Amino acid sequence: MVNFILLILIYTGVYALMAIGQNLITGYLGLLSLTQAGFFAIGSYVTAILTTTYGVNFWVSVPLAALLSGFFGLLIGLPTLRLKGDYLAIATLGFGEIVRNILNNWDKVTKGPMGIQRIPMVSIFGMKVSPYTKWGFLALVWVFVVVFYVIFERITQSRIGRAFEAIREDEIAASSMGINTTVYKVWGFVLGASVAGIAGSLQAVFILSVTPSVFTFMVSIMVLCMVVLGGMGNFLAVILGAFIIQFISYFPQLVGLSNVIPPQFKQVLFGLILVIMMIWRPQGILGRQTRGAPGLLRKGGER
Amino acid sequence: MGSSAEFFQHLVNGLTLGGIYALIALGYTMVYGILKFINFAHGDILMAGSYIGLFIYNAIRGQAIGAWTIVAFFIAMLAGMIFSAALGMAIEKIAYKPLRRATRLAPLLSAIGVSFILSNSAAWMWGTRSRKLEYPFHNTPIRIKGVSITPHQILILVVVVVTMIALKLFVDRSRIGKAMRATSLDQDTAKLMGIRSDKIITITFAIGSALAATAGFLIALEIKIYPSMGTMTGLKAFVAAVVGGIGNISGAMLGGILLGLLETFGVALLGIPYGLRDTIAFVALIIILLVKPEGLLGKVEKEKV
């Protein structure tokens, strides 16, 4: 039982990292990205391939995972974010599927549907952090969450964050204030993608194997739900959202009803959460963080 | 087989596939033209309609192959279309309409949610295995100078062409079609002219969804259907709509057919591995967004404050 709760908390941490990235993209920039799963997969495979085939240390693979995810973010972001409209959503939707397609088919590097096994455990100062004794791993994951929470919170509280919000509220007004909207949108998207890559690295050393079937569209939907449920534009709320969604996700096993409740049930529930939240509480459970004098800066109507 | 025969063979296959994409792309483009909104659930509405069509066809077709099977085929297709039209209208009313005055992001998120609900409910109710229509008639290919065309392909091409002509006539000539065009041009002005835009939006969703169901039923005939098919099929059709110029009905037809040809020839002539066939549409999207984001038949829209 304790082990099970630790498991949920570890996954909350891994997904919270992705949700933090998604929140920057969706909550702050107001862009719909549907492919945290794709970047998650890229990060996982970077760590898996580097640590097994090339014997690279995990700690070296993490920044590389972030870099490669970010690079792919740049590749999708550049053509789509120059334009207004919702092309990012559809391009990212495709990207997630393509990544899985390539992981399944590029046998030489990714070993196809079988995936990569026997990923070495992480070690810190010579100490192994085994995923089987969950406390250590839990600490490792949450150190990452706290570090990125602080970094992203600082970014969004800065001038850059105000630029993001200006773009979200009115792109034309923002650009007439001298904000280079394309540059900010692309970098925001790239940052959001890189954290998902880092989450992937952690996932790889937690499961100690990677297979393409893990990185389905459902992962992206779960991350989106976490942001929408917690509250767009609020990093703490998003972490809370991550916990709630993971809890729902593991609830059938927790109460021993996993044989009774079909797996599609929770997925339908995730879809319902998106629709219901949008109609009745678009600001999420906790709502957006307001800065300065609350009330004064609020525009009419809920966001 | 000579190389020109081979070429025409791929042309026939590409046109069949492209025709199906075009039917789906029409739904995206019509909704986008009026609401400036990507209906992410469109592919799943297609899936639902094709399942209903398949079930009804299997229930009524009987064992003997004859004239009745063809009649049954069209009855089932019509049933799927009606079901999808109703589903599309219901979704619009429940999940999109309350969000018409909300942020741009809200209806998109809601649509993603609806899409996920539909595909998973289908998997829950009907299982995840893929299905196909039982043959409505003998599918022996007809050979013309080394090019073989199956009765299924002929049926698909006929349905696609007839549907497209009907839609084009409806939009260009009928009163409702005129109202649709007016609404897509400028919703507020259209309202001032006495057009009930809510009604037009509902009709647009109904028509788009019915077209999607038609396409889905044809997919069930020629390829196969499964609960999660909506994502990839919808994505490709959306790319087709963008290639042709989103919001433009002729553009969607052109884009669909081009994409079908591109996929068929990409695999056959350029040697793109079959497993990566789905990548072609994605690359096409990126290229068109880089080179001509307004699409082949679209017009450049000035951004106005």
Going residue by residue through chain B (305 aa), what tens digit of pLDDT does each one get?
457 888 899 999 999 999 999 999 999 999 998 988 899 999 999 999 999 999 999 898 877 777 788 899 999 999 999 999 999 999 999 999 999 988 889 999 999 999 999 999 999 999 999 999 877 667 788 888 888 899 889 999 999 999 999 999 999 999 999 999 999 988 889 999 999 999 999 999 999 999 999 999 999 998 899 999 998 899 999 999 999 998 889 999 999 999 999 999 988 888 788 777 888 888 888 899 888 888 898 777 655 55
Q: Which tokens hold the place of B28?
A: 């995206």
Percent of chain A with pLDDT over 70: 95
Q: Which tokens hold the place of B236?
A: 């490709």
Q: Which domain holds residue A90?
A: 2-217
Residue A238 falls inside a structural domain = no
**Structural domain count, chain B:** 1
E strand or H helix at A128: strand A127-129
Q: Where are the alpha helices (DSSP H) in chain A?
A: 2-22, 36-53, 58-81, 87-105, 107-110, 134-157, 159-169, 171-176, 181-207, 217-230, 235-254, 263-280
* Long-range contact pairs involving B85-90 (C-beta distance under 8 Å, separation at least 24): B85/B205, B85/B206, B85/B207, B85/B209, B85/B210, B85/B213, B86/B206, B87/B45, B87/B48, B87/B49, B87/B209, B88/B45, B88/B205, B88/B206, B88/B208, B88/B209, B88/B210, B88/B212, B89/B202, B89/B205, B89/B206, B89/B209
Is residue B293 less than 8 Å (CB to CB) from chain A? Answer: yes
> What is the per-residue pLDDT across A73-100, written as a single tens digit (0 to 9) for each?
999 999 999 887 688 998 998 899 889 9
Tracing tokens 């880089």 back to the chain, one arrives at B290
Give the mean model confidence (pLDDT) for residues A64-77. 96
Residue B296 falls inside a structural domain = no
Residue B71 falls inside a structural domain = yes
Residue A12 falls inside a structural domain = yes
Residue A252 falls inside a structural domain = no
**Distance (Å, whole) CA B73 – CA B282:** 33
Residue B284 falls inside a structural domain = no
Hey, which residues 143-202 in chain A have their CB within 8 Å of chain B?
172
Hey, which residues 198-257 in chain B have their CB within 8 Å of chain A?
231-232, 235, 238-239, 242
Residue A102 falls inside a structural domain = yes
Question: CB-CB: which of B101, B120, B286 is closest to A79?
Answer: B286
Is the CB of B113 less than 8 angstroms away from the CB of A273?
yes
Is residue B185 less than 8 Å (CB to CB) from chain A? Answer: no
Q: Is ipTM over 0.95? A: no
Q: Which domain holds residue B61?
A: 23-238
Residue B191 falls inside a structural domain = yes
Question: CB-CB: which of B95, B273, B279 is closest to A98?
Answer: B279
Distance from CA of B158 to the nearest CA of A (A): 30
Residue A46 falls inside a structural domain = yes
Residue B127 falls inside a structural domain = yes
Residue B103 falls inside a structural domain = yes
Beta carbons within 8 Å of A108's beta carbon, 6+ residues apart: none
Residue B219 falls inside a structural domain = yes
Residue B299 falls inside a structural domain = no
**Structural domain count, chain A:** 1
Start-to-end CA span in chain B (Å):
59
Residue A231 falls inside a structural domain = no
